Structure 1
């Protein structure tokens, strides 16, 4: 018999009751939103939830999740590593808003810093500040009064907002004397004296920023307002006045958001899961309980670590918990200096973990082999399940976070043999399959050998150009076209599929006659709306419903030599799947490319010529609990993603199979099959 979410009543009941208790115990203060560099804090009350099992205390309706339809095993043989290698070698440039403002808007020569104040500001000073309402994506201005000053900070409150002066003093003195030194020592320093030339950090207490916002750091405030119209031009945090200043959330929010402020000048375009994991670690290092999101995560550990959900996703909060738990495990396993090295590593995403481990010559004490991010992930998956320092060399627990929540079985098998069962797991997600069948058996694992990179295939053939993933990035695809012998109409045609963060990330179609000054062209599709202040002009935004063809009139450039560019500019926090380009043609000069044989003469910076297929790999671990104790065995299927695992269990013994997909550069899950003979 197999027990999963839809086939065992008591198991389902335990999970649902646990979630119900979780909902009752956790007070959601923040549902983050994505603006120009907005990092919002997702926080909970400090009470850890309790979970129960057994008979239901209220009627529960359950539905079995739809299983994957089939394994993805291409009949033509092994999948090439070409696209995987292309993506791993791609460099995603950070955006430079001053360069963008000059090239695309003609705003050149703007200073990166403002004139500093002649002296520290005095209590009672009133200034205007820009805020963003996350419910409407509208920016608005308020007047705020300076209420408290420390050597390193200013505390401002929106006019008319009631605050307790004693609570303000306690919060800001703690921030000045404890949180700032702690975070600076571990993560480095923020940009100081910063854009405004004033070493004071602004903390603004105000309302109207959204129904579920507790606080945020916006990197747009780090810029001269002449290049971003809604910039406040200060190193600034927002605390929502919907919550009392004396609550622990205010302290943890400042510790969390200060890490984002520190990250801004050093590694702005790193992925959200690492940025948020480190920010949560900042709160943890200052002694604040991050409880809540981590408990939320362990209820469904099949969540992709190297991804980040939108704020309307039911998994949004769980991502905070998952990323924190992974980073906290890295700190516990490798120590403070190694974790500091990771925070400072210039690489992004999992590659930064690989690079940090390599630079430290980190090896597995049990095998003697060099460690990779994938190795650490599997050890962490086992540690989350066991939390037992007596197993192996002590790596399967948290010494620095003994109250960390613990994952449990996602499925249980009580009788063997078992017919083939089709399942799927996210890349860098985790399935825990418990098996308690006494006797001699063989567990047969068969995994997909391929996975799609994106939800859509190229418009034609096998190849297309695609943007890469990167926060606060600027990716370009550029080509020269010679129209000097053309006197008639010129139509530039291409096909595109895109999924871009709505209202915040834009892709522009541009033309330049000198390679320095660029004109954004109004395309048939696209938008001129700019609710966030992020857009530099007419651009593609949102998502297409499948592939579409665009035909752009470039007749005004007849008789000239020009450069054509696709430019993708992203903000922080949330990313769509990106932009695909295929089947480009200019009939007036006989140009046509489908990218099947080469790049068509295009110069890429952050774009990659790819196939929509990647080799799928899996990592497995087998935890055995028996009379002789607990053991952990790390396993890896062969090149065909096939593995036979002998099982020999006595009465009362059990094993747990950990399954994780291990293919980077995709958000698609991986199908696999298990059978017990």
Structure 2
């Protein structure tokens, strides 16, 4: 059996740093319905767990530079189809073979490219770990590649000209004997990479980051074949950061009401998962936590909770998300205990969806699950006030941030009761240039509506009425000094 779904391990990346014009492509490609272990056990029981391809169509026992054999090259612009083409080993390191489609040799990739790819895959990187190559960075943080069939100590990086606007992918069916599954197999651990990426040539810093990204997918498949897409992509984005060339932050900061756990194959989806994973890495234990996340059987937020709990953290994912929402806007590790910022990247400004400059005033909003709205308050007199009423059957984390270039940033949480009603007089913000209200919907499955009032020392209170038909009909007022 097999099911056509979005293949977690077959990410095809976008042009780096192009805000609002992403060429991100996340194809519908085939993936087995069963886990790799289930497939292997069935094939072993049937006596079919062995390489099936003939000599000249499969890696030799000890490949060397200059060896050529036929590879399945994938066209993905429609239903995936494979063509057998001669490809040659053009480079070899302790952990990798660089294989190139013969038609592209000295056309879109040459020996200089291959030498640079080998250098950075095996020995060096551009970020915080300059003496470690992609192989060691990824295997140290995520685990080992599967190596189920070819028995070789190296993986293959196969370069060819794609028929789609994308950069790289990992093809799950290579993990199984050719002819035993609905799609062809090269019977080896292979990362497929474009020679003609719109992000530059095959040995550019960006494409080296893509190699790290796709290698993480290969590794992850060895431990968890059904991880949530947003977790998988976040980890592969982290692999790019570990290498030292992460994707440029754009898109998500201009529309942060974008569910972290929903995957729509847009550029902003890569960025939101990148920032979440980098934040978890920096704030909650680094490599050991990431390792546990890859190796746990739990998926999604449950996997994160398992990993954090395993490292001794007594936190809820709702509270972590609330802190992350503040960190995305502030990016300032000098505030409180450092939980409201990043060390490893500089974030562009996040955009509030509404600004208030006269008081009293009121508004309504709706945030997707695991997403955040920001509301800006300016021009207030004295201490600003906030009254908040969220949908009673949802879950929120609401905070207020006082920001002024000449004053230390202040952050406070709005206490909410069981019906998601709360109010605050933000005395610490008196005299500040602006206040940002962060409304994080941490309900796991659906969007959440809310209403609010804002005031200041010169305004009067606004009446409040619950309008969510959730059983709480009592009126209440936001207190204004």
- Provide TM-score, normalisation by structure 1: 0.57
Name the structure 1 match of 2:225: 268
Helix, strand or coil: the match of 1:265?
helix
Is 2:356 the partner of 1:390?
Answer: no
Tell me, in whole angstroms, the C-alpha distance in 1 between the residues paired with 2:443 and 2:195.
Answer: 43
Rounded to whole Å, the distance in 1 between the matches of 2:312 and 2:36 is: 38
Query: Which residue number in structure 1 is paired with residue 110 of structure 2?
Result: 164
- How many pairs were matched up? 415
Pairs within 5 Å for 1:198-347: 198-210=152-164, 212-228=165-181, 229-243=183-197, 244-288=201-245, 290-292=246-248, 294-309=249-264, 311=265, 316-336=266-286, 337-347=288-298
Is 1:184 the counterpart of 2:139 in the alignment? yes
- Label 1:142 to 1:241 Cα distance change in 2 as closer, same or farther (>3 A): farther
Partner of 1:174: 120
The reply on whether 1:658 has 2:438 as its aligned counterpart is yes
In structure 2, how many angstroms separate the alpha carbons of the residues matched to 1:205 and 1:321?
A: 26
**What is the match of residue 35 of structure 2?**
96
Give the distance between the partners of 2:368 and 2:145, measured in 1 at CA: 35
Q: 1:204: how far off?
A: 1.3
**1:359 alignment partner, one of 281, 303, 310:** 310
Please state whether the residue corresponding to 2:366 is helix, strand or coil: strand
Residue aligned with 1:307, SS? coil
Q: 1:656 to 1:388 in 2, by over 3 A?
A: same
Preserved CA contact (<8 Å) 2:142 2:290: no
Shift in alpha-carbon separation, 1:239–1:409, aligned structure 2, 3 A: same
2:416 alignment partner in structure 1: 637
User: What residue is the counterpart of 1:86 in the other structure?
Assistant: none
In structure 2, C-alpha distance between the alignment counterparts of 1:113 and 1:636, rounded to whole Å? 61
User: Partners in 1 of 2:48 and 2:92 — Cα distance?
Assistant: 28
Distance in 1 of aligned mates of 2:366 and 2:251: 21
Distance 1:185 1:121 in 2: 26
Q: Deviations over 1:238-265 (max 9, x none)?
A: 1112232232222111111111111111
Shift of 1:339: 3.2
Q: Map 1:456-495 to 2 at 5 A.
A: none
Tell me, in whole angstroms, the C-alpha distance in 2 between the residues paired with 1:110 and 1:46.
49
Deviation at 1:200, TM superposition (A): 2.3
Offset at 1:150? 2.6
Deviation at 1:123, TM superposition (A): 3.5
Alignment correspondent of 1:475: none
CA contact (8 A) 1:155 1:204 kept: yes
1:405 aligns with 2:405: no
CA deviation map 1:67-124 (0-9, x unaligned): xxxxxxxxxxxxxxxxxxxxxxxxxx98236856999xx9961544438966312344
- Separation in 2 of the partners of 1:174 and 1:439? 56
Structure 2 gap segments, 5+ residues each: 21-31, 53-57, 124-132, 455-461, 463-481
Work out whether 1:433 is the aligned partner of 2:414: no
In structure 2, the CA distance between the partners of 1:623 and 1:351, relative to structure 1 (3 Å rule), is same
Distance 1:166 1:635, change over 3 A: same
- SS of the aligned residue for 1:262 comes to helix
Separation (CA, whole Å) in 1 of partners of 2:138 and 2:9 = 20
User: What does residue range 38-49 of structure 1 map to in structure 2 within 5 Å?
Assistant: 38-45=9-16
Larger relative contact order, structure 1 or 2 (CA cutoff 8 Å, min sep 6): 1
Q: Which one has the largest radius of gyration?
A: 1
Unpaired segments of 5 or more residues in structure 1? 1-32, 50-92, 363-369, 450-614
Q: CA RMSD in A?
A: 2.9
Query: How far does the alpha carbon of each residue in 1:147-201 deviate from its partner, in whole angstroms, 9 at most, with x for none?
Result: 2233322222223212211211221232133110121112111123x32222221
Secondary structure of the residue aligned to 1:389 is coil
* 3-state SS of paired residue (2:386): strand
Normalised by the size of structure 2, how large is the TM-score?
0.78
